[in-house]
Each structure stands twice: as C-alpha cells, then as structure tokens.
C-alpha cells in the first residue's frame, strides 16, 4: 500500500491486516521502553492545515515509537491562501526528503491532490467532511479488542448518533464497521444527514438505545444551531444526547464511544467516567497503536519490530 | 481577403441538406451548386465527407478580458472559438470591470475586432457590477447594440428587481438571460447534491436551487411577456419546466452546455477541480433529460459556458477552486458524440437557433445561399479525435474532456469570407 487515504481505498483486506498489526504495536507500546527501530531513518512530516492537537500528538507519538524522524508543519489555511499554494508547500517540503506526509486539511479531497505532487506516502489525518481513516481504524480496534471480536463484526449492532452530515469520522466509521460485518444504524434528524445515503436511519435515539452493542456519539458543533440545523442544544440533547436515563436503558455490555473532543452536557449529558461501558480513553490509547501500524505498513520493511533500541 | 471555393461538401442549413460546393467572394456567398471549379487566385478548401454549415454562434463565452487576462484574452478566446467552428460569440459580462457601461462594452467589442477571429458580441450585466442591487443602463447599452443581458455567474436573486428588469426590458427588444441559482441554497456548494456528494463529503448544490429560479422567471414571463433565456440548464425538472412554458406559448428559450450532456457528478470522485463547474455536473438521469430536451427542441441551443481558469487556481482544494471548464474547442466533438440527434439538428442548436437568441441572425446562422454573409463552418461529422491540452488555442488548460472520445471535427472556419481556420489550424 502506497497511501492510506480512505477506508474504501484501502479495502477490507488492508483494514484487517492493519488491525492485526495494531495488536503488535499495542504490545510494543506496553513495553517499559516502548520504542523499536523499525522506521529509523524515515522522515514523517505532520502537515496540519487545521488545528488538531490530539491527532497530531497521536501521529507524532506513533512515529517516534517506531524511531522515525518527525517534522511538524502547522499552518492555518488562511495564511497559506495569502501566500504559498498547497502545491508549492508540498513540493518544497517534499524536496527535503520526506517519506510520508500526514495531512489534515479542512477541505475534502486534499490528500488526493497532494499525492499528485509528491512521491512520498500520503496519510489522511482528516479531510473536510470526507474521511478520517485512522480514526475508523482505532474505533474498529477498540471495539474488537474490548468485545473480543477479532474475527468479524457480524451481527454487531452499532448506532452512530448525531451530526453525520458534517462528520468525516462518521463517513469513515460507517464504511469500516460495515466492511467488517456490523449492522450500522444512523441516528439523527434529517438536517444532520447527508442526502441519498444507503444506511438505515432512525430519527429518535430511543427507538434503538436498548438494542445496540455500541453507541457512537458524534460531537455537535455549536454553529449548527445558527445554521438552523437544530433548534437548540437543549432540544438536541433531549432527542439525541446520552442522558442518565438513556444510559440506564443501554444494554449492560454496550460500549460508549466518542471521537473527542466531547461536548459535555450536549451529546454527552452524563459523566462517561461513571459508565462502565465507556471506552473513550481506550480509543485515544489505541490511536497510537493503529497509527504505528499504518506508518509501519506504508514505510516499514518487515523486520525490526522485536528489538528494543 | 482572398476568394474561396469550398469543394466536395454537403451543405446543411435551415433550408435543408444538399451536396454543394460554395464559392465566396468579397465576404459574401456568391455561388452554391454542384461541380463548381476554381478560378484564378481562389483558395480551395477541401470538404470531402464534410458538412458545410452556417458558422456556429456561442451564447455563453467567458473571454476574461478585461480583468483576468492570465486566464484568457479576447484574442486567445477568439482563436479558440474559431477553432471550434464559431464565427460569433457572446462575451459574458463578468469581467473586471463588469460590462455594465458603454466604455467597457466598447472596449470588448474593439478588442474583438482587433483580433478579427470571430465576431465578439459583448453582453451587458442586468445589474450594476452584477451585484443584484441596481439596474444597469439597459436602454443605453441596447442603443449601442447590446442584445443579451445577464448577471451570469450569479442569478438575479431579488424577485422584485428581476420583475422590474423584465418590465423595463419588455419594450427594448433585448433578452434577459438568467443564471438560475438561488444562492441561499448553494452556499459553500462544491458539487451536485446527491449520492456522490454524500460519499465524497462535499457540500451539495441541490437541483431545486436551479429549478426554483427557472420556475420564478417563467412565471414572470407569463406575467410580463418579456422574453427570458435560461442559461446552462442542468436538471430534469428544469427541462420539464421549460417544456411546459413553451407549450404555453411563452417567450422562453434555453441552452445546455456540452458538459451537461456528457459528464456526470461521479467524475468528482478523484477530487479534481477540472470537474468543478456551476451549475455542477449532475446525475446520468439529468444528462439524459437534458439530451432529450435538446432532441425535442425544448432546449434551443448548445452553449459552451467556456470558462478559462489559470492552472494554479484549479490546483486549489476543491472548495476553493473556481468553477468552470473550457468548451469552445470541444463543443462540436462532444455534442456529436453525446447526442443521438440528426446532424442537422445539432447544427441548428450550434448555429441558427442561438443566432436568433443572440440577436445576430442578420449576420450569423444565415442560409448558405448567394448574397448571404460568408460566415461558415466546415466540419467532418465522423472524425474521431482526442483532446490534447497543450494543443488548445485557449490560454488555459482546464478541459475536462481529456480521454473523452470526440466525434466531429472542425476543418475550416470562414468569417465574412476570411478563413480563420484551415485544416483545423488557426490561420493566425
């Protein structure tokens, strides 16, 4: 695999391979010295055109645990608009000898454009509303390691709740969960759904809350109200928030997931630390393992996972 | 100006189709008939297997000058037009400054004359600066020969202002042309709203944002009676609305672009801004509806919406790249490849029907007959070819048709007896 830009582009075989590889990486991460020389001499550039401290730190940690050299290039899109074009930025940094670009951009499709201008691998760390494939990987990894579902997600009922329309996490998760065999249901008002989708939808959380194995809550951005997509946060929480009442109706084994950052009191109207099914911090931890897996799969040469440096 | 004899072709015009050679002298068609022979000094243009038709007329060309000369100039755009078989183009008014005053209109006209590769007929904007706030001096501009007025790039959003424009225009013998898009419904839109935009995570441009304005303007025509031309119609329902308006006898005309009869929204899957255009590429069902609209005459004309953009602008992220694609040099090749229509009907949609709408039917889109102005296009309707961007006459390269099979190639173009294109190459 040359690039890792979307779940669909990678395909089911690669997704399974990366999840298996993440097991090894998680094991590396648990060592007293969680570092292997697998990517020594490789250069990874984190190119974040949109602020995302947590994703950038996760990628940076993953690269460092594999002994890659990392560079961080943070830039707001506006300053790039004023001066250098995206192409010139990529070609300039690429000329410094980069093996992989990790790219976050507010515009959908940028990882595909960037790949035309560099010979390096391109890893999508989130593009617009489109895709966030390493988030999908870490979500799959979290589900399978917690529910002991290493084979497949056959029969697993997952509800993704909230602002699907503007969510790259939702788009990638729907594809990945479905690819592994899960039954995905979307829970949202029509204003927060993309048009003409072929995934089952319910418009009230209470219709499904007692029948699901995983509830995946999405962040509701406050500007959605000024866009008249929901009347108020209060009404959103009443229909789609995870409230203490709903938490009591959730099946006991059900997992509670969120990509972060959470809006407490909005989609998360209960303290997740009091919910035994919450795996939100595991998601963050697993993010490092799956990102190590992706970096190693794209840049590694098959050896060197064993020895500590 | 040398005298010309076009030999071996089949003439197609509004009077029918016949085998005939065409002699041109002093800018006028002097003789049409079989077995004409060249006399001393005449240039012979071979037309074996070719159609000889009235020159093409484009209702919708962005020449970019003044203001965006890095993308196109009136000269390079005129050359592209000639190569595409056009003898007349209507220059869209979204220049900088806008074509809303006599001085800018005259500048564009003069630059067109200086290039001398096709007739450049500037359109005027309906509102000053295309801002949708205040009417342009429609009568003053009509007085200097502007026939088509449009705020293209934007529709006139305010229904009251559009009503006023139509009432004022009703007695001026001009036509208002509308870019149908209710802006409030397309804010931030990058591509057609539907299955593909959902998958690609791109903001959608819903069909009904076009249809609402098509409907509004048809009802204004019903109320006021002034003619309206619908630019680049792109959806199934828009075609139905125009069909019904024509059945009611309303003075509504419409055009469709070559890209809306050949390309679909699925092409955006690779995130290339070459496929970003406004209105957006739509679904195959829409493409088929627009083709059917052309076939039954609901849509009068094929118009290019030729929209050159400098390469670096098309390399921006998709939501920041400007919409638009080249069209002049590929219109015939795309049309014949995409439309299941008699060649004569395609020629009608490229020539005499748009000539009527543009108000140039005294010079262009004339029958090929003695005494008529020699504005002619000679094309091989069966030639198959491929687009090579570096060979385009346009200053820009933003064609979406690389790799798309073209059928039908312009061989020669004659503007008032002067060959602007010979053997598919511009003469200057």
Output the six-digit token pair for A206.
Answer: 């209470």
- Write down the pLDDT at residue A309: 42
B199 and B251 both lie in a single domain: yes
Query: Can you say how many angstroms the Cα of residue B159 is from the centroid of all Cα atoms in its chain?
Result: 26
Q: Which of B271, B319, B320 sits opposite A112 (nearest CB)?
A: B271
Is pLDDT at B248 greater than 90 in this prediction? yes
Is pLDDT at A226 greater than 90 in this prediction? no
B27 and B158 both lie in a single domain: no
Question: Facing residues of A217 across strands?
Answer: A161
C-alpha to C-alpha distance for B255 and A238, rounded to whole angstroms: 50
Look-up of token digits 């940094």: A93
Same fold: A7-132+287-299 with A134-284: yes
Q: Do B197 and A85 count as a contact with CB atoms less than 8 A apart?
A: no
Element (H, E) at A23: helix A7-30
Please give, one letter per residue, the 3-state secondary structure of B32-70. Answer: EECCCCCCCCCEEEECCCCEEEECEEEEEECCCCCCCCC
- Write down the pLDDT at residue A306: 56
B305 is annotated as an active-site residue: yes
Q: Do A86 and B316 count as a contact with CB atoms less than 8 A apart?
A: yes
Is pLDDT at B240 greater than 80 in this prediction? yes
Residues of B with CB under 8 A from a CB of A: 190, 193-195, 197-204, 206, 270-272, 312, 315-320
Q: What is the DSSP letter of A99?
A: S
Spell out the residues 6+ positions from residue B88 whose beta carbon is closer than 8 angstroms to its own. Answer: B55, B56, B57, B58, B118, B119, B120, B121, B355, B358, B360, B363, B364, B375
Integer-rounded Cα radius of gyration of chain B: 20
Domain ranges of chain A: 7-132+287-299, 134-284
Tell me the C-alpha to C-alpha distance, in Å, between residue B383 and each of A137, B24, B247, B334, B411: 51, 25, 37, 12, 10
Using a pLDDT cut of 90, give the percent of chain A over it: 87
Q: What angle do CA B131, B134, B135 make, to 5 degrees?
A: 105
C-alpha to C-alpha distance for B395 and B386, rounded to whole angstroms: 19
B17 and B91 both lie in a single domain: no
Spell out the residues 6+ positions from residue B34 whose beta carbon is closer than 8 angstroms to its own. Answer: B19, B20, B21
B232 and B347 both lie in a single domain: yes
Tell me the C-alpha to C-alpha distance, in Å, between residue A212 and each of A207, A251, B331, B372: 10, 7, 55, 78
pLDDT in tens, B96-115: 999 999 999 999 999 999 99
Cα torsion A107, A108, A111, A113: sign:
negative
CA neighbours within 13 Å on the CB side: how many for B105?
22
Q: Is residue B385 part of a domain?
A: yes
Tell me the C-alpha to C-alpha distance, in Å, between residue A77 and each of A86, B311, B319: 9, 20, 12
Q: Is residue B21 part of a domain?
A: yes
Using a pLDDT cut of 70, give the percent of chain B over it: 100
Which residues of chain A does B311 touch, with a Cβ-Cβ cutoff of 8 Å? none
Backbone angles phi, psi at B65, to 5 degrees: -100, 130
Q: Give the CATH fold of the A134-284 domain.
A: Rossmann fold (3.40.50)
Output the six-digit token pair for B47.
Answer: 């037309």
C-alpha to C-alpha distance for A191 and A227, rounded to whole angstroms: 10
Asked if residue A144 has a cis previous peptide bond (ω within 30° of 0), the answer is no
Is pLDDT at A241 greater than 50 in this prediction? yes
For the segment B184-204, the average pLDDT, to the nearest whole number, is 97
B46 and B72 both lie in a single domain: no
Domain limit, last residue, from B337, B358, B379: B358
C-alpha to C-alpha distance for A28 and A286, rounded to whole angstroms: 12
Asked if residue B66 has a cis previous peptide bond (ω within 30° of 0), the answer is yes
How crowded is residue B144: how many other Cβ atoms within 10 Å of its Cβ? Answer: 12
Least confident of A124-133, A146-155, B40-49: A146-155
Does the complex come out with an ipTM higher than 0.85? yes
Which residues of chain B does A196 touch, with a Cβ-Cβ cutoff of 8 Å? 194-195, 198
- Write down the pLDDT at residue A172: 98
Total of domains in chain B? 2
Domain limit, last residue, from B301, B331, B358: B358
Q: Residue A304 — very low, low, confident or very high, per pLDDT cuts 50/70/90?
A: low
C-alpha to C-alpha distance for B274 and B2, rounded to whole angstroms: 41
Q: Residue A303 — very low, low, confident or very high, per pLDDT cuts 50/70/90?
A: low
Q: Do B201 and A113 count as a contact with CB atoms less than 8 A apart?
A: no
Question: Facing residues of A105 across strands?
Answer: A127
C-alpha to C-alpha distance for A148 and A23, rounded to whole angstroms: 12
Q: Is residue B98 part of a domain?
A: yes
Integer-rounded Cα radius of gyration of chain A: 19
Is pLDDT at A307 greater than 60 in this prediction? no
Backbone angles phi, psi at A88, to 5 degrees: -65, -40
Query: Can you say how many angstroms the Cα of residue A134 is from the centroid of all Cα atoms in its chain?
Result: 5
**Do A39 and A299 form a contact (C-beta atoms < 8 A)?**
yes
Look-up of token digits 């010295």: A33
Element (H, E) at B115: helix B102-115
B290 and B416 both lie in a single domain: no
Q: Do B317 and A87 count as a contact with CB atoms less than 8 A apart?
A: no
Q: Nearest CA to CA, how far is B268 from chain A (Å)?
A: 10
For the segment B395-412, the average pLDDT, to the nearest whole number, is 98
Residue in chain B lying closest to A131 (CA): B201
B152 and B288 both lie in a single domain: yes
Name the class of domain A7-132+287-299.
alpha beta
- Write down the pLDDT at residue A148: 87
Output the six-digit token pair for A189.
Answer: 């008002």
Q: Do A85 and B317 count as a contact with CB atoms less than 8 A apart?
A: no
pLDDT in tens, B335-390: 999 999 999 999 999 999 999 999 999 999 999 999 999 999 999 999 999 999 99
Q: Do B201 and A131 count as a contact with CB atoms less than 8 A apart?
A: yes
Backbone angles phi, psi at B390, to 5 degrees: -70, -15
Q: Is residue B363 part of a domain?
A: no
- Write down the pLDDT at residue A110: 97
CATH of the domain at B151: 3.20.20.140
CA neighbours within 13 Å on the CB side: how many for B257?
29
C-alpha to C-alpha distance for A142 and A257, rounded to whole angstroms: 9
- Write down the pLDDT at residue A76: 63
- Write down the pLDDT at residue A205: 97
Q: Residue A308 — very low, low, confident or very high, per pLDDT cuts 50/70/90?
A: very low
Q: Do A107 and B320 count as a contact with CB atoms less than 8 A apart?
A: yes
Using a pLDDT cut of 70, give the percent of chain A over it: 95
- Write down the pLDDT at residue B1: 58
Using a pLDDT cut of 90, give the percent of chain B over it: 99
Q: Nearest CA to CA, how far is B125 from chain A (Å)?
A: 30
B390 and B256 both lie in a single domain: no
- Write down the pLDDT at residue A150: 84
Backbone angles phi, psi at A278, to 5 degrees: -70, 125
Q: Residue A175 — very low, low, confident or very high, per pLDDT cuts 50/70/90?
A: very high
Domain that holds residue B273: 55-358
Which among A6, A89, A90, A109 is the top mutation candidate for probing chain B, defined by the most B β-carbons within 10 Å of its own β-carbon? A109
Q: Which of B151, B305, B380, B418 is catalytic?
A: B305
Q: Nearest CA to CA, how far is B215 from chain A (Å)?
A: 23
- Write down the pLDDT at residue A302: 61
For the segment A102-120, the average pLDDT, to the nearest whole number, is 97
Three-state secondary-structure class, residue B100 = coil
Q: Counting Cβ atoms within 10 Å, is residue A302 exposed (0-12), middle (13-18) or buried (19+)?
A: exposed
Tell me the C-alpha to C-alpha distance, in Å, between residue B191 and each of B43, B85, B204, B238, B332: 49, 30, 5, 17, 25
Spell out the residues 6+ positions from residue B345 whose beta carbon is closer than 8 angstroms to its own. Answer: B294, B295
CA neighbours within 13 Å on the CB side: how many for B115?
26
C-alpha to C-alpha distance for B227 and B250, rounded to whole angstroms: 8
CATH of the domain at B397: 2.30.40.10
First and final C-alpha spacing in chain B: 14
Domain limit, last residue, from B358, B389, B415: B358
Residues of A with CB under 8 A from a CB of B: 81, 85-87, 105, 107-110, 112-113, 127-131, 168, 171, 194-197
Is pLDDT at B120 greater than 50 in this prediction? yes
Output the six-digit token pair for A55.
Answer: 């994703």
C-alpha to C-alpha distance for A93 and A1, rounded to whole angstroms: 22
- Write down the pLDDT at residue B306: 98
C-alpha to C-alpha distance for A195 and B303, rounded to whole angstroms: 30
């Amino acid at each position: 695999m040359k690039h890792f830009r979307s779940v669909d582009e990678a395909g089911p075989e690669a997704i399974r391979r990366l999840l298996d590889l993440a097991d090894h990486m998680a094991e590396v991460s648990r060592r007293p010295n969680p570092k292997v020389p697998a990517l020594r001499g490789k250069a990874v550039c984190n190119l974040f055109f949109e602020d995302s401290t947590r994703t950038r730190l996760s990628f940076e940690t993953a690269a460092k645990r594999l002994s890659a050299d990392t560079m961080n290039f943070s830039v707001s899109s506006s300053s790039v608009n004023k001066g250098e074009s995206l192409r010139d930025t990529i070609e300039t940094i690429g000329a410094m000898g980069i093996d992989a670009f990790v790219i976050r951009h507010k515009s959908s499709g940028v990882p595909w454009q960037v790949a035309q201008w560099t010979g390096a691998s391109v890893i999508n760390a989130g593009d617009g509303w489109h895709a966030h494939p390493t988030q999908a990987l870490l979500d799959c990894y979290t589900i399978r390691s917690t529910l002991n579902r290493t084979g497949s997600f056959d029969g697993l009922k997952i509800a993704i709740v909230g602002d699907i329309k503007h969510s790259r996490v939702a788009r990638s998760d729907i594809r990945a969960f479905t690819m592994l065999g899960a039954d995905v249901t979307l829970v949202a008002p029509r204003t927060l759904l993309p048009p003409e989708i072929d995934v089952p939808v319910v418009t009230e959380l209470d219709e499904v809350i007692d029948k699901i194995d995983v509830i995946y809550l999405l962040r509701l951005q406050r500007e959605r109200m000024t866009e008249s997509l929901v009347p108020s946060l209060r009404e959103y929480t009443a229909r789609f928030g995870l409230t203490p009442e709903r938490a009591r109706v959730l099946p006991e084994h059900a997992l509670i997931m969120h990509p972060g950052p959470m809006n407490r009191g909005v989609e998360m109207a209960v303290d997740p630390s009091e919910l035994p099914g919450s795996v939100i911090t595991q998601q963050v931890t697993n993010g490092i393992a799956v990102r190590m897996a992706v970096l190693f799969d794209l840049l590694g040469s098959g050896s060197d996972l064993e020895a500590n440096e | 100006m040398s005298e010309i004899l076009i030999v071996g072709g089949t003439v197609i015009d509004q009077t029918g189709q016949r085998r005939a050679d065409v002699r041109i002298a002093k800018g006028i068609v002097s003789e049409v008939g079989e077995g004409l022979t060249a006399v001393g000094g005449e240039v012979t243009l071979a037309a074996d297997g070719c159609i000889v038709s009235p020159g093409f007329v484009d209702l919708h060309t962005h020449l970019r000058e003044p203001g965006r000369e890095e993308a196109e100039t009136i000269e390079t755009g005129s050359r592209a037009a000639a190569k595409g078989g056009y003898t007349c183009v209507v220059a869209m008014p979204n220049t900088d400054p806008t074509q809303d005053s006599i001085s800018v209109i005259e500048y564009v006209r003069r630059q067109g004359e200086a290039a001398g590769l096709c007739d450049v007929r500037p359109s005027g904007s309906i509102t000053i600066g295309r801002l949708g706030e205040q009417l342009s001096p429609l009568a003053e501009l009509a007085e200097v020969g502007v026939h088509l007025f449009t705020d293209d790039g934007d529709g006139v959003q305010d229904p009251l202002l559009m009503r006023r424009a139509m009432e004022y225009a009703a007695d001026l013998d001009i036509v208002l042309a509308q870019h149908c898009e209710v802006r409030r419904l397309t804010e931030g839109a990058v591509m057609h709203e539907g299955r593909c935009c959902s998958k690609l995570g791109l903001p959608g441009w819903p069909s009904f944002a076009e249809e609402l304005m098509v409907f509004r303007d048809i009802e204004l025509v019903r109320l006021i009676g002034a003619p309206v031309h619908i630019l680049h119609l792109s959806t199934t329902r828009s075609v139905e609305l125009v069909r019904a308006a024509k059945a009611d006898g309303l003075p509504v005309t419409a055009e469709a672009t070559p890209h809306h009869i050949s390309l679909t929204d699925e092409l955006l899957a690779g995130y290339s801004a070459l496929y970003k255009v406004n209105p957006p590429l739509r679904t195959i069902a829409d493409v088929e509806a627009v083709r059917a609209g052309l076939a039954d005459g609901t849509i009068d004309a094929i118009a290019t919406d030729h929209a050159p953009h400098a390469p670096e602008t098309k390399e921006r992220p998709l939501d920041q790249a400007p919409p638009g694609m080249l069209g002049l040099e590929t219109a015939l090749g795309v049309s014949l490849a995409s439309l299941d229509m008699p060649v004569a009907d395609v020629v009608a949609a490229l020539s005499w029907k748009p000539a009527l709408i543009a108000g140039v039917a005294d010079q262009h889109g004339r029958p090929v007959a003695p005494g008529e102005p020699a504005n002619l296009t000679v094309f091989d309707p069966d030639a198959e070819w491929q687009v090579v961007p570096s060979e385009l006459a346009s200053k820009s390269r933003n064609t979406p048709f690389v790799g798309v099979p073209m059928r039908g190639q312009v061989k020669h173009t004659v503007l008032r007896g002067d060959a602007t294109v010979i053997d598919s190459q511009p003469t200057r």
